[in-house]
Amino acid sequence: MDIATLIGIVTAFGLVMFAIGSGIPSFIDPPSILIVVGGTIGVIFVAYPLHTVIGLVGIILKTFMYKVDSGQAVITQLVELSQVVRKDGILALESRVGDIGNQFMSKGLQMAIDGQEPGDIEDILYMEMDKISDRHMKGADILTALGTFAPSMGMIGTLVGLVLMLQNMSDPSSIGPSMSIALLTTFYGALMANIIFLPMAGKLKARSKEEILIHEIILTGIQSLVAGENPRIMEQKLLGYLPPKERKSAFD
């Protein structure tokens, strides 16, 4: 659970509402909400295949739920497995694969146990890593698109409001309120883009980079394990992926 996403959205919205103060009811205009929210949804149907749009709820949930393994934990696990292999051979991993939570690691180990060629294992894992990253980037991509189209629909709504207002300026006292309503769609678009969609896209990208790092560690670890490298050397290699102060050796 990525509690920060929730805290951040609540904080930012809370502060905006605090700034509005008692005027909140006048900031809620259903037709304006309809044109910005509905229009953005319409545009996203034009811009993405149906199944991607349907997957959008899952993508948004991911910004709240994303779980990435800790690099240190993954390295400890790989070093331990490497010691098992050194002592009892690769087949000794058979009984352990089931307990491994990380699917990418268990797939790689299973291939090693099955005796597939090191080069093949590397190719398959590398390709899979690549595709996982592509899928995550697709999620960030559609959120960025939402963050671009929402302000555009906001601007379109404001243009509609301005044109309507300008065509009917006989009552000067109505100009202010008409213009304030015209600005509301721009306001909605800015809120949606800058507090929800664009920061969420940022989180998916940041999380994806973290996951890629974990996958690189696993890939390097399995290569080392299959090559029968000394667990100390393997650990030294893997710790290089972490920032110096996070490195803890199992051999110290």
- 63-122: which residues touch a second copy (CB under 8 A)? 63, 68, 103, 116, 120
CB of 6 to a second copy, least distance (A): 9
Helix or strand or coil: residue 40?
A: helix
Size of the site for a second copy (CB under 8 A): 100
How far is residue 104's CA from residue 95's CA, in Å, rounded to a whole number? 17
| Nearest to a second copy of 84, 165 (CB atom) | 165
Q: Give CA–CA dist 137/205, Å, rounded.
A: 7
How far apart (Å, rounded) are the C-alpha atoms in residues 168 and 164? 7
For a second copy, the binding residue among 87, 98, 119, 167 (CB under 8 A) is 167
- Region of 3-11, 79-87, 91-99 interacting with a second copy (CB under 8 A): 3-11
What mask of x and - would describe binding to a second copy in positions 176 to 215, judged by CB under 8 A? xx-xx--xx-xx--xx-xxxx-xxx-xx--xx-xx-----
The stretch near a second copy (CB under 8 A) out of 72-80, 82-90, 94-102, 230-238 is 230-238
The candidate with the shortest Cα–Cα distance to 213, out of 111, 9, 69, 101, is 69
Q: Which of 23, 98, 115, 119 binds a second copy (CB under 8 A)?
A: 23
Of 118 and 202, which has the nearer Cβ to a second copy? 202
The answer to whether 137 touches 208, Cβ cutoff 8 Å, is yes
Residue with tokens 């009552």, as numbered in its chain: 171
Residues in contact with 196: Cβ distance below 8 Å, sequence separation at least 6, in sequence order: 9, 147
Range in contact with a second copy (rule: CB under 8 A) among 5-13, 74-82, 84-92, 94-102: 5-13
CA 147 – CA 198 distance, rounded (Å): 5
Binding a second copy by CB under 8 A: which of 60, 113, 164, 222? 164
Residue 174 phi/psi, 5-degree rounding, is -90, -10
Which of 61, 65, 91, 169 is the binder for a second copy (CB under 8 A)?
169
Q: Which stretch binds a second copy (CB under 8 A): 22-30, 79-87, 88-96?
A: 22-30
Which amino acid, one-letter code, is at 127?
M
For residue 222, what is the enclosing H or E element? helix 198-226
- Coil, helix or strand at residue 204: helix
To the nearest whole angstrom, how small is the minimum distance from the Cβ of residue 88 to a second copy?
26
Q: In terms of C-beta density within 10 A (0-12 exposed, 13-18 middle, 19 or more buried), how is residue 1 classed?
A: exposed
Min separation Cβ 91 and a second copy, Å: 19
Q: Tokens in use for 243?
A: 């920032």
Of 73 and 206, CB closest to a second copy: 206
| 127 to 156: interface string for a second copy, x by CB under 8 A | xx--x--xx--x------x---x--xx-xx
